[in-house]
């Protein structure tokens, strides 16, 4: 453990006071590595596991720099932060405001789903820092309501996700209006320069340095429950929540419709539920997440819109009602728990159409998910009849009652040696069957371990 303290990295006393008020005692490993290099003027590609403190790793040095250097270009914004979702933008605005509470620096947010005219008026006041999603910001760039001619930092949080979502054109259009003197910083838990080189080429102007923080994996226990079909999964979900001791749980589905359905199902079962997906209004999304943060609701049912970046204390269980489409998305979903050294558990429901995806993800993570069973709800599905050496189903897929969904398509899961550095210790891929755990005895293993 390093004994470096924040005052050895950050000079501004207002900023140090705010760090203290946040209760941060020591920089995390990613902060330790990134802060000095940002201060030294580098362009960076930073990858470090979920919940490791990446936000402060870019905010602190960027804020230090703008607090230290007066600008000659007061009409221009100084820091621009782009994120894939509105919820993450809002969270970063809050983080920045907390760190700036002893200063006069202003932060503005520009996301879709909110009034354009109001945003334009806000932008006219030249906030030093803007956080937003690429689509709406690109519109403001077209309307010339932004001024990035004196920008010091262009920061892309969850950069790989923005690329996946097809937001690269907007990101590039915005980047073109940013000062050529700026520093560009890209952050994610899954940043693989090969996969995003197209983006890097267009937004990073200088030679970029790569930081890969090599830490032990988060303490997240990963398990799966075999399921026959959607109806069976619904029963499993209700039973799992009933028998588990959790403070807050996030349930991920692959479609908005399914998220809405589970919202109803769990409400019917007397849970206090928040739902977060693309089919509800921005206001509803905001309220849903606020309630979940404040503990007014205990369950968040969400699509992958909630998989990236959200930092919600108390989430100790993540359920994948449908398996994630890729190893990266799986990692981000389960990364909503086990943050900042906390412990967590992830349980995935695996029906026949999730099997190959699950095996691909296990291989990508070099992990084996223990199979759980819930007494009284043990289904017929026991995995494919015949397995290939990869663990995937051999021959024709088994048919189930379940309708084909998009998750049925076998998604390519890339195995990337470099990423594994963030995932943790390699375990030898065993040919032996998965360990089976039966929680007949009151689900003791679901209870939170004492510290």
Which positions lie near Mg ion, rule CB under 5 A? Answer: 54, 309
| Chain residue at closest Cβ approach to Mg ion | 309
Least Å from the CB of residue 163 to ligand ADP: 18
The interface partner of residue 52, options being ligand ADP, Mg ion, none and the CB cut-off 5 to 8 Å by kind, is: ligand ADP
Least Å from the CB of residue 158 to ligand ADP: 9
340 binds ligand ADP per the rule CB under 6 A? yes
Exactly one of 52, 133, 218, 298 binds ligand ADP (CB under 6 A); that residue is 52
Least Å from the CB of residue 22 to Mg ion: 15
Least Å from the CB of residue 54 to Mg ion: 5
* Phi/psi at 350 (5° precision): -120, 105
182 binds ligand ADP per the rule CB under 6 A? no
Please check whether residue 277 is in contact with residue 321, taking contact to mean a CB–CB distance below 8 angstroms: no
344 binds ligand ADP per the rule CB under 6 A? no
Exactly one of 14, 24, 116, 165 binds ligand ADP (CB under 6 A); that residue is 24
Toward ligand ADP, which CB reaches closer, 196 or 230? Answer: 196
The interface partner of residue 53, options being Mg ion, ligand ADP, none and the CB cut-off 5 to 8 Å by kind, is: ligand ADP
Contacts of 428 (CB under 8 A, 6+ apart): none
Residue 325 CA to residue 307 CA, distance in Å, equals: 12
156 binds ligand ADP per the rule CB under 6 A? no
C-alpha distances (whole Å) from 282 to each of 115, 157, 204, 289, 347 are: 11, 21, 32, 11, 29
Exactly one of 182, 339, 359, 368 binds ligand ADP (CB under 6 A); that residue is 339
- Alpha carbon of residue 314 to chain centroid: 16
* Phi/psi at 366 (5° precision): 60, 45
The interface partner of residue 339, options being ligand ADP, Mg ion, none and the CB cut-off 5 to 8 Å by kind, is: ligand ADP
Toward ligand ADP, which CB reaches closer, 93 or 352? Answer: 93
Instruction: Give how many residues touch ligand ADP by CB under 6 A.
Output: 16
Least Å from the CB of residue 15 to Mg ion: 19
Least Å from the CB of residue 31 to ligand ADP: 6
Exactly one of 28, 76, 297, 326 binds ligand ADP (CB under 6 A); that residue is 28
- The residues of the shown chain that bind ligand ADP, judged by CB under 6 A, are 24, 26-28, 31, 50-56, 309, 311, 339-340
């Amino acid at each position: 453990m390093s004994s470096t303290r924040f005052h050895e990295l950050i000079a501004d006393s207002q900023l140090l006071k705010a760090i203290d008020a946040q209760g941060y005692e020591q920089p995390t490993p990613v902060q330790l590595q990134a802060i000095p290099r940002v201060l030294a003027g580098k362009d960076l590609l930073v990858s470090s596991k979920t919940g490791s403190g990446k936000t402060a790793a870019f905010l602190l040095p960027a804020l230090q720099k703008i607090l230290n250097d007066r600008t000659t270009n007061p009409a221009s914004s100084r820091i621009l932060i782009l994120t894939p979702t509105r919820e993450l933008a809002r969270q970063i605005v809050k983080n920045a405001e907390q760190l700036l509470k002893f200063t006069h620096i202003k932060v503005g947010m520009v996301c879709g789903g909110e009034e354009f005219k109001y945003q334009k008026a806000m932008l006219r006041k030249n906030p030093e820092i803007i956080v937003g999603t690429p689509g709406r910001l690109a519109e403001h760039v077209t309307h010339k309501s932004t001024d990035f001619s004196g920008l010091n930092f262009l920061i892309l949080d969850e950069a790989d996700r923005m690329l996946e979502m097809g937001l690269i054109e907007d990101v590039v259009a915005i980047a073109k209006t940013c000062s050529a003197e700026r520093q560009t910083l890209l952050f994610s838990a899954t940043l693989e320069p090969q996969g995003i080189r197209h983006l890097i080429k267009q937004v990073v102007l200088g030679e970029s340095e790569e930081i890969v923080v090599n830490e032990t994996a988060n303490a997240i226990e990963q398990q799966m429950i075999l399921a026959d079909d959607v109806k069976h999964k619904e029963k499993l979900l209700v039973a799992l929540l009933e028998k588990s001791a959790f403070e807050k749980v996030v349930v991920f589905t692959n479609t908005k419709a399914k998220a809405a359905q589970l919202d109803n199902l769990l409400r019917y079962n007397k849970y206090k539920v928040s739902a977060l997906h693309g089919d509800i209004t921005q206001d509803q999304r905001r309220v849903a997440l606020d309630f979940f943060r404040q503990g007014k609701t205990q369950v968040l049912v969400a699509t992958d819109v909630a998989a990236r970046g959200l930092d919600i204390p108390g989430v100790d269980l993540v359920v994948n009602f449908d398996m994630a489409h890729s190893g990266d998305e799986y990692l981000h979903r389960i990364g909503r728990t086990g943050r900042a050294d906390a412990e967590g558990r992830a349980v995935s429901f695996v029906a026949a159409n999730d099997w190959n995806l699950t095996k691909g993800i296990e291989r990508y993570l070099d992990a084996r998910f223990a199979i759980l069973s819930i007494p009284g709800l043990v289904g017929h599905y026991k995995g494919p009849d015949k397995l290939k050496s990869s663990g995937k189903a051999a021959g024709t897929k088994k048919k189930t009652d379940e309708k084909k969904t998009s998750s049925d398509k076998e998604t390519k899961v890339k195995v990337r040696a470099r990423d594994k550095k963030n995932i943790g210790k390699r375990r030898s891929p065993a040919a032996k069957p998965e360990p089976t755990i039966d929680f007949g005895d009151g689900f003791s293993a679901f209870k939170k371990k004492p510290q």
